[in-house]
Each structure stands twice: as C-alpha cells, then as structure tokens.
C-alpha cells in the first residue's frame, strides 16, 4: 500500500498543472471558476486547444487521439483540469458518442466522425430520454422504420442538453416493435439537427436558464449508413456509453474549487465582529464539507488505483451518488453565504451573489440526471448488498 504518487506521476501532474494555467485563456477559466455562464465559443475554444495538444480525448484509442495513459494518469488529467477551472471537453462528444463510434462504428463511420468529434467541429447532443422514458430508458417509444436506404424517425425526445448549440444528435429509436424484450428492439442513429422534420423547443428551467430542450422528430429521414453498428443492438451501445458517463461524474476537483471560493466569499462577508469565515458555526460547516469531499476523493483514488486490472470496483457506484450530493451541498452553501444578496435575479450579472441562487437551483438536476440517485441506491442494494 502506498498513498503517495510516484516521481513520474508527480512530474506528469505538474506538467499538466502548468499547461492548463498557461494555455487555456485566463478569462475562460475565470468565468468557469466563478460559475458564470460559458458561451459555446468558450467551450469550443478550450476543447480545440486541448485537442491540439493531445489532451481532449486521452482515453480514446491511440489512432484517434488517445494517449494510452494509465488510470492514474487519466485521473490526474481530469483532476488537474477541474482544479484549474478548465471547461471540460464536451462530454457528449468525448465520453459518449466518440467512444461508442470508436468501439462499434464501421471504419467509414470512424473516419467520418471521430476527428470532427474530438475537435468539436461537430457538437453532439444525446437523444435518449423521452417524456415516458426517464430512469426507465428502455421503454422509449420513438420509432425508426426502414424505407429503402433510409430510416424514417418519428417520436419525441426530451431533456436534450444543449440541443440549441448542437449540430448532430445520437438518437435511440425502436426499430423492432415486436422484439421479445423491450431492450432488444432499439437502434442508435446519427443525424444533423437541421434535417427536415426536427424541431427543437427549449425548456426553461427553474433557474431561468435554457439548457435542455424538447426535440420533436417528424418523418426525419436518416441515411442508413448513419446507423451505429448493427440494427437492434442500440441498447448495448447505450449501456456502454452510460458506463462511460459514470466515471468522471463525482466532480471532486470542481467541488473543491467551489469550497475554496466559498471560503473567499465568506472572508469578504462582514459580521458584527469579524467575517463569516471567523464564525465557528460556519467554519464547522466548511470543515465538514471539506472532510466529506476528501473522503470521496479517497474513494475515487481506490477506484482509480484498482481499475488497472479491468475489473470494475463495486465501490465506484457511490461516486455519482455522493459526488452529486456534495456538488449540491456546496451550491447550497454559496447561497447561504450570499444571504439576502442572493435574492435579485436580474441586474449585475457579474455579481456572484446574484448568480448563486440560479446555480443552486440548477444543481438540483445533478441528483436526477445520469441515473437518479434513487436508481444508484437501488443498484447498490441489488448488486452489492444482494437485496
């Protein structure tokens, strides 16, 4: 057993630490750090810089830009990126559809999509959830019917994140309504959002923001060569994709930076005597959160160090559950620091206190998406505890 990193790992980490701070524009990192809204341009610019230096898709196969890193190196890359408040490469591209195409796509499909996906020349969105298929994704009802060398898609997707920024969608649709199991008749199709028959309608969220959408699909004609892998095997690809979604979901580094920010804000918040940071009740809340985060970071280290032999560590199941609870806890903390200054929604948008309520409300999503936390508990109960 050994807690410390090796000399080589430390050097690797320090190099990344310096790179992120040197190469990614400070104004972008500063906006990210203070939870200001990032523009599409911020995200594209960042990902292209990362990709130019081989740092956007290190976990992909080497021929498509991967780096063949150890799990520990990958962890350090991700952690340092968060600690430097670098907007992460677009997850729909790099963690979702990219690995699926690299793993299951035809050679032509790889050539056509992977370079553009890594460089964010194509912005992908995920067409999975439907009004009646949330946590129970396999009951989706969107259908795709083969018509010559096209598929014709009809149905409705919802909660589609950033569809308004997206160029293409990877979409699950039912291609065999008579399959014996509902999981068995699903396929994965790729199409541009400007295809006739696609209508995107933004959904306003409780924070006043527009990040998710309803997407209506009416007789959308998709060339058959934009089917991923094999017809009716879409559920396999979706499970593969969602497995990737889980690994970075704890966001320990990001929450760490926000706790640090909370301390900075608290130090600028005067009380009758001293500042909020001097208040023992507040300090105890910070100390406990720091400790919870450290415990989760150690869980993550156990998972990372243990994943070299390929077998998934069951303890990884708690990363999403606990990670999102702590992400929420720190956004709650920031509203509490802002106090009455958190009430105004409009006006000086540069004011962190005014944004804190929006962030807090927005982060209620984290325990719902990616498999709600209740689903995570059910997975722990059934697969780990045998209940």
Partner 1 sequence: MDFELTTEQTMLRDTVRSVLARHYTHEHRAQVIGTDPGWDPQVWSTFAEIGLLGLTISAEDGGMGAGPIETMLVLEELGRVLAPEPVLDCALLPGALISRAGSQLQRKQILPEVASGERRIVFAHGEPGLRPVTAQVTTQATLVGDGWQVSGRKHPVAWGDCADQLIVSAALPDGGTGLFLIEPTDSGVTVAGYRTHDGRRGADLTFDRATAVPLGAAVDAGDAIADIIVTAQAALGAEAIGAMSQALRLTTEYLSTRKQFGVPLRSFQTLTQRAADMYVSLELARSMSLYASMSLADGVADPVVAARAKLRIGRSGRHIGQEAIQMHGGIGMTAEYPVGHYTARLTAIEHTLGDSGDHLRYLAGHVADHQLAEI
Residue from 298, 345, 348, 351 that binds partner 1 (CB under 8 A)?
A: 298
Residue from 245, 290, 332, 336 that binds partner 1 (CB under 8 A)?
A: 290
Q: 171: which strand partners?
A: 127, 189
3-state secondary structure (DSSP) of residue 171: strand
Residue from 96, 163, 217, 318 that binds partner 1 (CB under 8 A)?
A: 318
Give min distance, CB of 263 to partner 1, in A. 7
Give min distance, CB of 323 to partner 1, in A. 11
| 288 sits near partner 1 (criterion: CB under 8 A) | yes
Written as six digits, the tokens of 275 are: 């500042």
CA distance 365 to 362: 6
Residue from 301, 341, 364, 372 that binds partner 1 (CB under 8 A)?
A: 301
Q: 124: which strand partners?
A: 168
The DSSP output letter for 172 is E
- 343-382 residues near partner 1, rule: CB under 8 A: 374, 376-378, 380-382
| 10 sits near partner 1 (criterion: CB under 8 A) | no
Judged by CB under 8 A, the stretch of 34-42, 115-123, 179-187, 276-284 that binds partner 1 is 276-284
| 268 sits near partner 1 (criterion: CB under 8 A) | no
CA distance 327 to 255: 6
| 263 sits near partner 1 (criterion: CB under 8 A) | yes
Residue from 284, 312, 343, 348 that binds partner 1 (CB under 8 A)?
A: 284
Q: What are phi and psi of 276, to 5 degrees?
A: -60, -35
The DSSP output letter for 87 is P
Please check whether residue 226 is in contact with residue 166, taking contact to mean a CB–CB distance below 8 angstroms.
no
Give min distance, CB of 136 to partner 1, in A. 15
Give min distance, CB of 316 to partner 1, in A. 10
Please check whether residue 171 is in contact with residue 198, taking contact to mean a CB–CB distance below 8 angstroms.
no
- 133-192 residues near partner 1, rule: CB under 8 A: none
Written as six digits, the tokens of 224 are: 């058959």
Q: Is 346 a catalytic residue?
A: no
Check 9, 23, 214, 245 and give the catalytic one: 245
C-alpha angle 235-237-240 in degrees, rounded to nearest 5: 110
Give min distance, CB of 133 to partner 1, in A. 21
| 257 sits near partner 1 (criterion: CB under 8 A) | yes
Give residues with Cβ within 8 angstroms of 198, minimum separation 6.
169, 191, 215, 216, 217, 220
- 53-112 residues near partner 1, rule: CB under 8 A: 72, 83
| DSSP states of 311-359 | PPPGGGHHHHHHHHHHHHHHHHHHHHHHGGGGS--SS-TT-HHHHHHHH
Burial-class residue 122 by CB neighbours within 10 Å (0-12, 13-18, 19+). Answer: buried
| 2 sits near partner 1 (criterion: CB under 8 A) | yes
Residue from 100, 249, 277, 329 that binds partner 1 (CB under 8 A)?
A: 277
Judged by CB under 8 A, the stretch of 41-49, 133-141, 255-263, 347-355 that binds partner 1 is 255-263
Residue from 96, 162, 166, 321 that binds partner 1 (CB under 8 A)?
A: 321
The DSSP output letter for 93 is I
Q: Could you give the C-alpha distances from 370 to 59, 298, 306, in angstroms and in order?
A: 20, 22, 23
Residues carrying an active site annotation = 245
- Residues forming contacts to partner 1 in the complex (CB under 8 A) are 1-5, 9, 72, 83, 256-257, 259-260, 263, 267, 277-278, 280, 283-284, 286-288, 290-299, 301-302, 304-306, 315, 318, 321-322, 374, 376-378, 380-382, 384-387
């Amino acid at each position: 057993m050994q807690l410390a990193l090796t000399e080589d790992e430390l050097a690797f980490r320090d190099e990344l630490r310096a790179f992120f701070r040197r190469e990614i524009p400070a104004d972008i990192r500063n906006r990210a750090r203070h939870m200001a809204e990032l523009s599409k341009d911020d995200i594209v610019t960042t990902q292209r810089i990362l990709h130019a230096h081989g740092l956007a898709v290190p976990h992909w196969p080497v021929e498509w830009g991967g780096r063949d890193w150890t799990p520990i190196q990958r962890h350090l890359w991700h952690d340092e990126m968060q600690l430097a408040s670098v907007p992460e490469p677009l997850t729909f591209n790099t963690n979702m559809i990219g690995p699926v195409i690299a793993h299951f796509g035809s050679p032509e499909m790889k050539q056509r999509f992977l370079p553009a996906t890594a460089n964010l020349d194509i912005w992908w969105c995920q067409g999975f959830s439907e009004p009646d298929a949330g946590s129970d994704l396999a009951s989706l009802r969107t259908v795709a019917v083969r018509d010559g060398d096209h598929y014709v898609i009809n149905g409705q997707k919802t909660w589609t994140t950033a569809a308004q920024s997206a160029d293409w969608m990877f979409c699950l649709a039912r291609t065999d309504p008579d399959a014996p199991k509902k999981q068995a008749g699903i396929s994965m199709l790729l199409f541009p959002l400007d295809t006739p028959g696609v209508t995107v309608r933004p959904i306003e969220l409780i924070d006043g923001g527009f990040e998710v959408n309803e997407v209506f699909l009416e007789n959308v004609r998709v060339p058959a060569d934009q089917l991923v892998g094999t017809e009716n095997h879409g559920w396999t690809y979706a499970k593969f994709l969602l497995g990737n979604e889980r690994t970075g979901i704890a966001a320990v580094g990001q929450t760490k930076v926000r706790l640090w920010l909370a301390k900075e804000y608290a130090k600028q918040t005067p009380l009758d005597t001293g500042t909020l940071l001097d208040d023992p009740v507040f300090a105890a809340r910070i100390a406990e959160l720091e400790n919870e985060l450290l415990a989760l970071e150690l869980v993550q280290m156990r998972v990372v160090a243990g994943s070299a032999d390929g077998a998934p560590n069951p303890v990884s199941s708690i990363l999403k559950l606990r990670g999102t609870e702590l992400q929420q806890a720190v956004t709650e903390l920031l509203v509490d620091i802002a106090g009455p200054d958190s009430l105004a929604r409009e006006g000086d948008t540069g004011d962190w206190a005014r944004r804190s309520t929006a962030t807090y409300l927005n982060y209620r999503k984290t325990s719902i998406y990616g498999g709600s936390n209740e689903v995570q508990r059910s997975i722990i109960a059934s697969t780990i505890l045998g209940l």
